Amino acid sequence: MYKIAAVGDSDSVMGFAALGLSVFECDDGEAAKTLVRRLAENGFAVIYITEYLASFIMPVIEQYADSPTPAIILIPGVKGNTGEGIENVRRSVVKAVGSDIIFNK
């Protein structure tokens, strides 16, 4: 059975525990690299990670971009929204459809 995780600072991810997700508090980029790799190796199919924390580990996240699991999804956190999460959605739509049908500029 696949699992779902939320990774980030406490204030940003604790609400996910109420939904039954596994919550991992992390504020350090180096620790986040190790944590994401460990989660990927241990059957987590979806990993939500705050945009702020993801900004420190983009090379690790990109390693899993073409893999079916885990799906690593960037979410805004209390430390701010970088816009990278929505940009990832846009890139995925363009890749799947061949055109920017949602964010047509």
Task: Delimit the domains of the chain by residue range.
Answer: 3-79
What pLDDT digit, counting tens, does each position of 64-84 carry? Answer: 988 889 999 998 888 767 777
Comparing 42 with 98, the larger pLDDT belongs to 42
State residue 104's pLDDT score.
Answer: 64
Going from the C-alpha of 11 to that of each of 17, 19, 81, 94, 98, the distances in angstroms are: 12, 15, 14, 32, 37
Q: Quick count: other Cβ atoms within 10 Å of Cβ 57?
A: 23
State residue 3's pLDDT score.
Answer: 95
State residue 80's pLDDT score.
Answer: 67
The structure's pTM equals 0.82
Task: Name every residue whose Cβ is closer than 8 Å to that of residue 87 and which is 6 or more positions away in sequence.
Answer: none
What pLDDT digit, counting tens, does each position of 27-68 carry? Answer: 999 999 999 999 999 999 999 999 999 999 999 999 998 888
What pLDDT digit, counting tens, does each position of 5-28 carry? Answer: 999 999 999 999 999 999 999 999
CATH code linked to domain 3-79? 3.40.50.10580
